[in-house]
Every structure is written in C-alpha cells, then in structure tokens.
Amino acid sequence: MLVDIDRERLEQRTAELKAAGHEAVAHHADCADEAAVEGYARAAMDAFGRIDGFFNNAGIEGDLAPTHEYDIAMFDKIIRVNLRSMFLGLRFVIPHMVAAGKGAVVNTASIGSERGLAGACAYNAAKHGAVGLTRTAASEVAQKGVRVNCVMPGVIETPLLVGMLEQMFEGDVQAGMDKLGQVATLNRVGQPREVGDVVSFLLSDEASYVNGAKWEIDGGALATIRNDV
C-alpha cells in the first residue's frame, strides 16, 4: 500500500508498480492527521490481512532561514509533517504488528540527525526527533517480535532536495547538486533507489538481528571531513 497526500503522484507511482507486475493499493491521506493515519493502517489490514513492513517516510523541506528569524508557522508545519506523522504512523501501525507477533518498521531520519544544517532548524529538529522515536519504539517492542530502525540519507536526488537547492542556490539546482555532491566521499549525489535498497533490506528477515539502528546512506559524508573541496 502506498500512502501520500499528493493524489497525482500517488496514482502515478501505484500505476507504475502495477505495470511492473506488483500488487499495489493507493490510499490518499494526510500522514500528519490522526484519523487519516488510523485510517490507512486499517485500510492496509483490510486489503492484506496483516502489515509485515512499514516505511515511515512522509516529509517536506520547508523554508530556509536562520533560527532566530524562522517563521513560527513554518516551524510548526515542518514538525507536524516530518515528526508528528512519524509518531502517528508508529502509534497506529505497530499495534497490528504486535498483535501478529512480527513486523519491521523503517523511519526516515537524515544526516541532519547528526549535523546542523544552517537555515533548517525545523527540519533538523524533526530529524533528530526521528532518531529518538526510532530508538524508543525499538526498545519497547523488540521482545514482541517487532523491529524498528531508521535510515539517514544524505544528499539524495529527490523533490525534497530540489526544493532545498532552489532556495540555497537561487534556482540553480544543478549547481547545488554539483556542490553538495562533493560533500560525499563518493563525490556524487545519491539516488532514491540506493535508499530503497537499504530500506528493503531492513524490512526483510535478512535484517532479523538489526534493531534500534541508524543506517547512514550518505556516500560517506559523515565518515570524514573533506579537505579537498
């Protein structure tokens, strides 16, 4: 089941999966709304009878501004979408996994969970919170058969990154890609599939002894301080 507030994108991705031979169900919802999240968890149970894996991935970039000048309404919006939605997902999906005695959750954090990105106080706060939620939930439900981990993507070529780069580089997205790609030791930006592969592993039984962990998918950005860029 795919869940998104963007109906057009949701229908497009669902159609792509079906065309590739996968079973896919689309569910339109605001992931930061309590009733909507309870609804998508229930819809997944109705459609499939169980929830084996859950990728808790809703997020927006928001505006960039110094912390002491940051718009309060924008701060609240980012926390709502990036952190509240994650909590609600855990709140309404995990009970179904506990009842089944098995399940795996992957939350999306960020390398912003480890470092400060100037101008992104709300985004960074939410992503630090994502790690806290992950570790707390992991410690609570491990003995009930449920694992909870998080991924920490670096500079990944997604619509969220494009939105940030448009602000940071005055609309020159490619210049931003080239510049930020140098942060990684691999000297390039990452692709969504490279994150998806790690998420798929963490949701699978191949990762049965992985719990409460942070998986960096950043091309080595956090591993070193580059002195050649």
Q: Which residues are catalytic?
A: 123
Q: What DSSP assignment string belongs to 135-147?
A: HHHHHHHGGGTEE
Gap between the Cα atoms of 55 and 14, Å rounded: 16
Report angle CA 143, 144, 147 to the nearest 5 degrees.
Answer: 80
Asked whether the beta carbons of 57 and 3 are under 8 A apart, the reply is no
Gap between the Cα atoms of 138 and 103, Å rounded: 11
- Eight-class DSSP state of 158: S
Gap between the Cα atoms of 210 and 17, Å rounded: 28
Q: Which two tokens stand for residue 136?
A: 């707390």
Q: Which long-range contacts (CB under 8 A, 24 or more apart) does 126-134 make?
A: 126/59, 126/78, 126/79, 126/82, 126/83, 127/82, 129/79, 129/83, 129/86, 130/82, 130/83, 130/86, 131/214, 133/83, 133/86, 133/87, 133/90, 133/107, 134/107, 134/109, 134/212, 134/214
